[in-house]
Structure 1
Amino acid sequence: MNAGRRRHQKPTPRAGGASASAADALGALARAAGLVMLAGLAAGCVARPVGDFGRAQPGVLHDTVMPYMGAGLAHSRKEPVSSLNQTDQEREMHDRTWRFLVAAHSRDWQFDSSVELQRTRIGRARDHKFTTDRYYAWLRGTQYRSSTTRYATVGRHILADFDTLPATFRAICGVEEVDRQRRIAVAELGSIEPVVAHNVEARRMENQWHVDWFVRALNYRYESYAYALDHLLVETPHERSMAVDEALRRLLPFVERANRGDFCLGGMSGGRDGAVTIRSRFQTMVQDNEVIPQK
């Protein structure tokens, strides 16, 4: 999966006094953000709190303070920052993709904190560095009364992803349509100021970066599940592995569609496509039960 390439906007030249004032303000903002991060890490509260069903809980710190500081830091890094109001479609996309960014295999607070710093743009993207053995390490270290319960846990996590992906894809498709309509409006309405057009392009890039992040997270989950299943087969072989492998096969078409950027076409509610054959890791393990008459 090739993530979208970042493009930097050139800063608008300003008068010397204004530039110095802006620099001082950004410097103060960065220092304040650093204090928030240090205090949050010390208290273990940088990670975004969750409520029922893993939904993000609203709060001033995570919804207002940290995004405000992150916007200032993104400006200082010369990254696009939009000031447009968020549409309902964009809000839904962020709500639905969020559960994929903080996965079931990231139970420790440091991982969740890094995701939240990335989401609010206080910190740079770090999800590129996550390794696929993390989920299996958590799964292996969790004490279960039966080793087969680990297979059930993996299968449950895969199916939870599978069940929410159709609605998540539709939400991303809705945002892509909003971005398309914005570009058309800017092109056809001659009275639109350049600063608004700049905002539209900045929001489009922000949305694309978020979608790219979701795609990376989906790939990471799939690869982590596959890694865990392979190692469970070696450590504690059991016939329940077949059900987990089947769940992975159902998830794969969504991963492939995400990598193609195909969020709007071909509703795949069942996770199967008659024109595509997905090889199972167990195809080489089928026993030969043919009875050969003895001479």
Structure 2
Amino acid sequence: MTIPFRLLPVGLAIGVLASCAQQGDFGRPKAGAWNSLIDATGTLAAGERHAPASASPLTDDEQDLRNRSWRFLMPAMTRDAFLDILANLTRARVLPPSWRPDDPAGYHASLRTGDALSPVSRYRRLSDDAVADARLIPAFVALAVRVVDADARRLKSLPFARTLDDWDVRQAAMRVAENRCLIAWVRLETGVRIEGYRYALEHLYAETPDPAAVEAERALAMLTARRPLLDPVVPADAAIRCGLVPAPAVAAQPPLVVKY
């Protein structure tokens, strides 16, 4: 039986208030019942929104892809624990990705929240975050390529399978779409994160110029140089087709024949 999406917040209210997202090693979520619960709930919620959602079990690579995406789909830094919880619910697709506002100033504001941080400490935090992101991208790309290649073989095998019914084929197709949309989402959020880092660096230097800004600039350049590694993994328009960003407006074309 499918749980209606409108009923999900009622069932999750206690869990949301009781726990928040915790990061484990290498930019992955910390293992625990909470993250497992919201991942399962997210699949149901995505299906209710008619987003790609498959009930098939995950391969090891697919599970690792989801774990590695956690770093890029969660905020680099937040000022509010509740916003961190909402971000984790969005990452799991309990909430749609489209609800999050565009906030390039958010990371800078979070850096300034800690009054005990010196200007040098703020630059160092920015450098550490950008370098950590940059170092995780090659491993994510290699894993994403393996998943995409496996999906291509999966789709090619479907016409030759004699025991699959329509439901089985649909679950396979939905899993392929899920994987591609996840990769597109990480690609999109990596660009958004770079914008936030750039905003923070420029504003920090205007506020408190310091030689430590040089190292932060180098870290940001490293991340910016590695982000294009994500580009060829899925089609350029994948974010639009997955509903992560709105389609660009198409200008009305003048008629080919004008009557006078």
TM bin, normalised by shorter chain, reads 0.7 to 0.9
Structure 2 stretches lacking a partner, 5+ long:
235-260
**Which residue, 147, 152, 156 being the options, matches 1:184?**
156
* Alignment: residue pair count: 234
Report what 1:35 is aligned to.
10
Rate the CA distance shift 1:89–1:136 in 2: closer, same or farther, 3 A.
Answer: same
The Cα shift of 1:178 comes to 1.5
The Cα shift of 1:257 comes to 3.1
The Cα shift of 1:230 comes to 0.6
Rate the CA distance shift 1:71–1:240 in 2: closer, same or farther, 3 A.
Answer: closer
1:86-101 equivalent positions in 2, closer than 5 A: 86-101=58-73
Report what 1:50 is aligned to.
23
Q: For 1:107 and 1:179, how far apart are their aligned partners in 2? A: 39
Rate the CA distance shift 1:54–1:215 in 2: closer, same or farther, 3 A.
Answer: closer
| Fraction of identical pairs, as percent | 26
Give the stretch that moved more between structures: 185-194 or 163-172: 185-194
Q: Which string of whole-angstrom CA distances, capped at 9 and with x for unpartnered residues, describes residues 71-126 of structure 1?
A: 33333333332122101111111111111222332353223212222233322114
Report what 2:120 is aligned to.
148
Q: Taking structure 2 as the reference length, what is the TM-score of the superposition?
A: 0.79
Report what 1:251 is aligned to.
223
Rate the CA distance shift 1:120–1:145 in 2: closer, same or farther, 3 A.
Answer: closer
Amino acid at match of 1:220: V
1:178-257 equivalent positions in 2, closer than 5 A: 178-257=150-229
Q: Which string of whole-angstrom CA distances, capped at 9 and with x for unpartnered residues, describes residues 164-207 of structure 1?
A: 21111111111111111111111333443322221111011111
Q: Taking structure 1 as the reference length, what is the TM-score of the superposition?
A: 0.71
The Cα shift of 1:38 comes to 2.3
Report what 1:261 is aligned to.
232
Amino acid at match of 1:261: P
Report what 1:59 is aligned to.
32
Q: For 1:140 and 1:113, how far apart are their aligned partners in 2? A: 21
| Structural RMSD (CA) | 2.4
Instruction: Report if the CA contact (8 A) 2:27-2:70 is conserved.
Output: no
Instruction: Report if the CA contact (8 A) 1:151-1:244 is conserved.
Output: yes
What SS is found at the alignment partner of 1:123? Answer: coil
Report what 2:137 is aligned to.
165
Structure of greater Rg:
1
Report what 1:131 is aligned to.
103
The Cα shift of 1:256 comes to 2.6
Structure 1 stretches lacking a partner, 5+ long:
1-21, 264-295
Rate the CA distance shift 1:107–1:176 in 2: closer, same or farther, 3 A.
Answer: farther
Instruction: Report if the CA contact (8 A) 2:74-2:91 is conserved.
Output: no
Q: For 2:117 and 2:93, how far apart are their aligned partners in 1? A: 41
Q: For 1:229 and 1:236, how far apart are their aligned partners in 2? A: 10
Report what 1:26 is aligned to.
3
